[in-house]
Amino acid sequence: MLVGVNLLLGLLFGLGLVLSGMADPAKVQNFLDVTGSWDPSLAFVMAGAVAVTSVGFGVARVRTAPMLDSVFQFPQRQGIDVDLVGGAALFGIGWGLGGLCPGPALTGLPLAATGTLVFVPSMLAGVTLGTWVGRMRRRPERLSLGVELRSPELTRRGGRCEPLTEAGKDPVQIGQ
């Protein structure tokens, strides 16, 4: 049932993209061309999306659980970091140059539109590469003795690694 609901919601999303004209890369490129043939309609579509999403999050905050799952899956990461800024920059650059983002690209794929036939494989390659780079960046660093820095026995202090003492307590907390 969950797969059917997700398929239906995906089709509804795709229909919304097609009806609003957002599946057309020229629509996005004209929105970004403020000195030429500027088309502000994308701003209205974005404002509508923000309004609907805000209502959805408001409803989610007062409910104890979603209809088709046991808990809500809210993002756990907060704050702005290099991954967020880098990902947003790459997404924006790709969107501006190609006029496509994943939703409209997948919507146009069954139509065999020329841009999507290049964009979607490139997007999948980028996702694969990004996943691989992310895993490589999160690999535990090792000391020359082979001890993992991120293990529970060690803590970082100003770039140095110091073992925890007295049954895992932080050395700073021991003297307090």
Closest CA to 170 of 153, 147, 146: 153
Instruction: Decide if 132 is inside a domain.
Output: yes
Rounded CA separation 166/176 (Å): 13
Instruction: Report strand pairing: 160-163 vs 154-157.
Output: antiparallel
Q: What is the pLDDT of residues 80-132, one digit of tens each?
A: 888 889 888 988 888 888 788 888 888 888 878 778 888 889 889 988 988 88
Q: What is the pLDDT of residues 71-89, one digit of tens each?
A: 888 888 888 888 889 888 9
Instruction: Decide if 111 is inside a domain.
Output: yes
Domain that holds residue 31: 2-137
CA geometry: angle 121, 122, 128, nearest 5 deg? 90
Phi then psi for 127, rounded to 5 degrees? Answer: -65, -45
Instruction: Decide if 161 is inside a domain.
Output: no
Domain count, the chain: 1
Would the CA dihedral through 6, 8, 13, 14 be positive or negative?
positive
Q: Is the pTM of this model over 0.75?
A: no
